[in-house]
Amino acid sequence: MAARRLIQLLLLLLASASLRSAEAPILVGARRQLFVDRKFIQSDAGISLRMNPPAKAGVALTGDRPWEQGWLTGSGYVAEDRGSFKMWYTVIPPDVRPGEGGLLCYAESDDGRVWRKPNLGVYEWNGTRANNILLRAVVESNVFIDPSASDTERYKFVTVLTDRHGLQPPEGDGMYVYLSGDGLRWRLHPKRVFPFRPDTVNHALYDTRLKKYVVYVRIWDPLRKIGRVETADILQPWPYDQSVPRVMVYGSPREYPGKHVPTAFGYDEQDPAQSDHYNSAAVQYPWAADAYFMFPSPYLHFPEPPKGRLRNEGLLDVQMAVSRDGVRYERVERWPYVECGLEGAPDSRQLYMLTGMLRVGNEIYQYYAGFPFTHGGYQGIDESWLKKLGTIFRVVQRPDGFVSVDAPMAGGSFLTPLVQFEGRRLALNFNASAMGEVRVELRDGGGKPIPAFTFDDCDPLHGNDVNRTVTWKGQSNVAALAGRPVRVAFRLRAVKLYAFHFVNDAGERLQ
């Protein structure tokens, strides 16, 4: 009996060793890694993942020019480009009703707070070119900067063109791409790339990980969701399932995509029954590895007439979803990322996030458009409604601060899977304030603490920092462990932990 037990124990130990050896380490290299999901949490106690809303920072842009005094829309893109901050945004001029087209405009800033609207001399409006207008456009469109393109095609504008808007699509109604070498003067590429007219802000980006273009478009399945198109050449027709029947919505003659493309994000059984989602505002986060964020606007539908006041009416705020690959997005929490303002405020009824974010020192700026009337609410306003509707606001987020591992005052801990790193030191982005504390321990593949890198050796981390180096008895050099599979153990008290980063240069700061 004793011999049998001994054999069983040996077999169990061998199986355990085999499993450990079969576990492939996550290659983190020397890139920043975010705690946006449980990828780096293998086991834990007393911790939780939390979504962290940004701080509202006031008005960034208002419709103070004559051509903007119809409607400042939620279609826009911000980027740092060649030493300055730039914003492309869409307005509906006062002589045009919603749904009948608009104007693509441009603003620039030195600090991301105060924005200028230069007189560009590009587009004539009401007999003058003294304006910041770039071209006729619709809300279902957005600009992006293509890092893979030649200088003459570096800026791209993905848009819907229809005869209804007088935009004269060369190959029929659908989606097209404008090209530009400076982001100001645009030329239309004549090829229709998508034979549908998705009816919200449709946004494209060049995914530097995939080395392909990704386009997030409105789909109906059966209500509003966000679809995803992936293509190696954004100027050629995009792939979609041609066997799927086309979708007609609300009796509209336009054709919408449905199951023609994969769903990247959509409502589920945890959402209110009468709700769906508007625009994606999706970004590939440039300051860390394998992190994508989406900022959709959940739309809570009010009852339709005769029970309700207006057709297609409701409220919207902004949520946040995360992804490691940009293919499928999930929400960490369902709380608003940006909530509606107090009743009567200019952002009290509808919010839409502009695409893109700006890094300004140790802050990230994002922008959203806010409205004091409900979705569909303009139906209840007579012709005098043409009066500066819509405001663009700024919010401030901490670098990497979108999601955190949180531990209470009672404490918590977690252990990562095996990771393999490059670098000389380990840096953390965390907020322990005054009473919190972080300790870190490095363990070998078998889970044993590595001498000189134990919790007891670790100098406790306090305060609030985006790039604090971990030390063990005053020493930070972990180069001897580089290239080896290790596990990182965290012991936390009253802490928000956002990111970790094995850094090559002992003096390197957050990129």
Task: Kindly state whether residue 10 falls inside one of the protein's structural domains.
Answer: no
* 65 and 47 inside one domain: no
| Cα 467 from Cα 478, distance rounded (Å) | 16
pLDDT at 199: 85
Say which CATH number the domain at 352 has.
2.115.10.20
The H-or-E segment that residue 9 falls in is helix 2-22
Mention every residue, 6+ apart, whose C-beta is less than 8 A from residue 218.
Answer: 140, 198, 199, 200, 202, 224, 225, 226, 227, 256, 257, 278, 279
* 451 and 435 inside one domain: yes
* 373 and 415 inside one domain: no
DSSP-derived 3-state class of residue 373: coil
- Residue where a domain terminates, one of 378, 397, 416: 397
Give φ, ψ of 42 to 5 degrees: -90, -40
Task: Kindly state whether residue 443 falls inside one of the protein's structural domains.
Answer: yes
* 136 and 212 inside one domain: yes
Say which CATH number the domain at 468 has.
2.60.120.260
Task: Kindly state whether residue 301 falls inside one of the protein's structural domains.
Answer: yes
Task: Kindly state whether residue 353 falls inside one of the protein's structural domains.
Answer: yes
Task: Kindly state whether residue 17 falls inside one of the protein's structural domains.
Answer: no
* 113 and 241 inside one domain: yes
pLDDT at 213: 99
* 223 and 82 inside one domain: yes
- Residue where a domain terminates, one of 371, 397, 423: 397
Do residues 295 and 54 touch, judged by C-beta distance below 8 A?
no
Beta strands 292-294 and 155-161: pairing type? unpaired
pLDDT along the chain (511 residues), means of 10: 46 44 88 98 99 99 92 94 96 77 95 98 97 92 97 97 83 96 98 93 97 97 95 98 86 82 96 93 98 97 85 93 98 98 95 98 98 78 56 98 99 99 98 99 98 99 99 98 98 99 69 39
- Residue where a domain terminates, one of 355, 370, 397: 397
* 364 and 483 inside one domain: no
Task: Kindly state whether residue 185 falls inside one of the protein's structural domains.
Answer: yes
pLDDT at 378: 65
DSSP-derived 3-state class of residue 504: coil
Which DSSP string do the residues of 13-39 spell out, in sequence order? HHHHHHHHHH-PPEEEETS-EE-SSST
Task: Kindly state whether residue 15 falls inside one of the protein's structural domains.
Answer: no
* 256 and 113 inside one domain: yes
- Tell me the C-alpha to C-alpha distance, in Å, between residue 404 and each of 101, 466, 500: 41, 13, 11
Domain holding 80, by residue range, is: 55-397
* 240 and 342 inside one domain: yes
Q: Mark residue 457 as left, alpha or beta (left: phi above 0; alpha: psi -120 to 50; beta: remaining).
A: alpha
The predicted model scores a pTM of 0.92
pLDDT at 506: 52
The H-or-E segment that residue 4 falls in is helix 2-22
Q: Into how many domains does the chain fold? A: 2
Do residues 31 and 501 touch, judged by C-beta distance below 8 A?
yes
Task: Kindly state whether residue 11 falls inside one of the protein's structural domains.
Answer: no
* 40 and 168 inside one domain: no
* 383 and 360 inside one domain: yes
- Tell me the C-alpha to C-alpha distance, in Å, between residue 191 and each of 127, 160, 172, 215, 236: 31, 12, 10, 16, 7
* 429 and 460 inside one domain: yes
